[in-house]
């Protein structure tokens, strides 16, 4: 696990590799973002595991996976800002206003309404696109930028990829005929803070051999 914020890398268990305690807790908005993320993860994991082992999700499973990929994109956009605090003015019609600082959980919640330019996969109809899982013999890394979007030229998104495991890559859409040999480097270039590889994976071996 490589953590760009703290400039460290070390072996870690899968369950603890990218955990930030209470990183998505909200203090200003009443929305339970951490609970929402837990619900999305819990709904998608059975379908993701099924895909990784050769299964095919039904319509509900596909919808759950798309919600998971949207969540991954959303969190990835702010992965390097866990400690950032933003000043805001809080007020109401019944109480005097005051200055406050909001953290990541509130910023992500507000961004759902404010960040209108952000791509939301559930709006693209991915459940009706072609889904396939490609075997990858060279190994795959993952990280906060692991959901990758592809288009042709300046056109709309035509393919979405996500590593299901070190040897399985989910490809949604028809705009990615094959996987480039430098695919891991492309994933790494999209990660803002976290990069994770198997202890015997290609990136871990390369760095360990230096």
Comparing 150 with 6, the larger pLDDT belongs to 150
Percent residues over pLDDT 70 in the chain = 96
Each residue's pLDDT tens digit, 147-184: 999 998 888 999 999 999 999 999 999 888 778 888 99
Q: Inform me whether the pLDDT recorded for 209 exceeds 50.
A: no
> What pLDDT does residue 205 have?
75
Q: Inform me whether the pLDDT recorded for 208 exceeds 60.
A: no
- Please provide the average confidence, as pLDDT, over all residues in the chain: 88
> What pLDDT does residue 199 have?
84
Burial code (b: 16+ CB inside 10 Å, e: under 16) for 76-115 equals bbbbebeeeeeeeeeeeeeeeeeeeebbbbbbbbbeeeee
> What pLDDT does residue 96 have?
77
Comparing 10 with 30, the larger pLDDT belongs to 30
Confidence at 210, pLDDT banded by 50, 70, 90: very low
Mean pLDDT of 39-65: 94
- Angle CA(129)–CA(122)–CA(177) in degrees, nearest 5? 35
Confidence at 142, pLDDT banded by 50, 70, 90: very high
- Angle CA(57)–CA(165)–CA(20) in degrees, nearest 5? 100
Mean pLDDT of 56-85: 93
**Chain-centre distance for alpha carbon 170:** 14
């Amino acid at each position: 696990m490589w953590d760009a914020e703290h400039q460290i890398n070390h072996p870690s268990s899968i369950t603890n590799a990218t955990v930030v305690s209470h990183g998505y807790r909200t203090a200003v908005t009443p929305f339970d973002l951490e609970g929402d993320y837990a619900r999305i993860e819990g709904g998608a994991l059975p379908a993701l595991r099924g895909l990784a082992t050769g299964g095919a999700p039904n319509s509900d499973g596909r919808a759950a996976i798309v919600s998971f990929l949207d969540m991954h994109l959303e969190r990835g956009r702010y992965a390097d800002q866990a400690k950032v605090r933003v000043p805001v003015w809080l007020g109401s019609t019944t109480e005097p206003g005051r200055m406050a600082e909001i953290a990541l959980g509130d910023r992500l919640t507000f961004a759902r309404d404010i960040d209108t330019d952000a791509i939301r996969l559930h709006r693209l109809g991915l459940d009706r696109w072609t889904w396939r899982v490609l075997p990858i013999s060279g190994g795959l890394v993952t990280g906060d930028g692991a959901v990758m979007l592809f288009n042709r030229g300046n056109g709309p998104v035509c393919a979405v990829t996500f590593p299901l495991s070190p040897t399985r890559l989910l490809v949604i859409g028809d705009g990615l005929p094959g996987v480039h040999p430098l695919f891991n480097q492309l994933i790494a270039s999209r990660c803002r803070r976290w990069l994770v590889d198997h202890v015997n994976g290609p990136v871990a071996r390369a760095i360990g051999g230096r």
